[in-house]
Copies of this chain bind each other. A is one copy, B any other.
Amino acid sequence: MTMTGTDQDLYPSRLTEPRPPLKREHPAVWGDASGPFTRDELDAHEARGYTVIDDFLGAGEVTDYTAELLRLSDAPELATDERVIRERSTGAVRSVFAVHHLSEKLDRLTRDPRLLDRARQLLGSDVYLHQTRINYMPGFRGTGFYWHSDFETWHAEDGMPIPRAVSCSLALTDNYPFNGGLMVMPGSHKTFVSSVGETPEDNHASSLQAQEVGVPSEEDISQLAEQYGIDQFTGAAGSALWFDSNIMHGSGNNITPFPRSNIFMVFNSVENELVHPYAAPASRPEHIAHRENVAPLR
C-alpha cells in the first residue's frame, strides 16, 4: 500500500508569491487504539498535534543519557565533524546529529518499545529514523529557534512527501516557562503554511544555526497564534513530548542559569520514504535526512 503520490506536490512551499495557508488533509494519527496510546490519547493527539508524557524516562536514564550528551559534545574526534552544529557567536555545541550512529546507548533507545510502539501506533505502519539529534541550549546566552513547521523543511528540502512523521523530544533537563522551552501552537498541524523564497544551495549549512529560508510570514504566524493560541512544553527532566511533523513551533532565548537539553528523534512511516526534494536543488546530507537505511526499525 502506498499512501503517497510522489509525483504530485501536495504541500507547495518556497514560493515566489505568498499563498494563504492550506488545510492539511492527512491525519496526524494513522493507527488504531491497540496501545500503548488509548483512544482518548490518540484523539487528543489528533486534535492538538502533540502529547506530553511525564516520567517517560527514569532518573537513572536521564543521568546516563546526559553523560552521553556530554561525551559526544566534548569528543575530540568529533571536534570538526559536520554532525556537530555550533552556536554562531560562541562556538559552543548546539546540536549533534545522527546520534544513533555515534552512541550505542542512544541507538538502543530509538528502538526501545516505549518509543517504537508509540511511533508505530501514531503513524499506523512500520517506521524508520528520519533524523536523530541531541540539542543543548546553554544558560545565560542560549538562542532559540524562530517559528517553523519541521515538515515544511523536510518536504521542501528533503523530499518527504506527506506529514506522516512524528518527533519525540526527551527532556534531559527541567523545562521551565522561562528557559527557552518549546512553544507550540496546538492544532496548527492541521494547517500547512507555505513560505516565500527559493531555497539556496547548501541552505542547511546555515539554517541549522539560524533559519533564514522556510520562515513563515508574520501575517501567517499572527493568524495561527490568534486561531490556536500558544502552549509551552514545561515538563521535568525525563518527560517526553511527541509532536506532529507539521505543528508550528519555536523557542525563545534563555538568559536564566538553567540550560536545556534533550534527545530528539524523528520517526517517519516506511510508506512515506523520501523522494527528490520538492523545493530545493539537491538533497541535504545523510546525517540530517536519512535515506540509506529505511528498513523498518526493530
Contacts and interface: CB of A to CB of B under 8 A. Distances in A.
Interface of A: 139-140, 144, 146-147, 176-178, 180, 183, 218, 221-222, 225-226, 230, 232, 250-258
Contacts of A144: 253, 255
Per assembly, the copies of the chain total 2
A258 B218 CA distance: 11
B178 A232 contact: yes
Nearest to A220: B257
Given A225-B258, A257-B225, A252 B180 contact: yes
A180 B221 CA distance: 17
Nearest to A226: B257
A225 B180 CA distance: 16
A157 to B, nearest CB: 22
Contacts of A226: 257
Contacts of A251: 255
Contact of A232 (B177, B180, B218): B177
Given A140-B221, A183-B178, A221-B140, A230 B255 contact: no
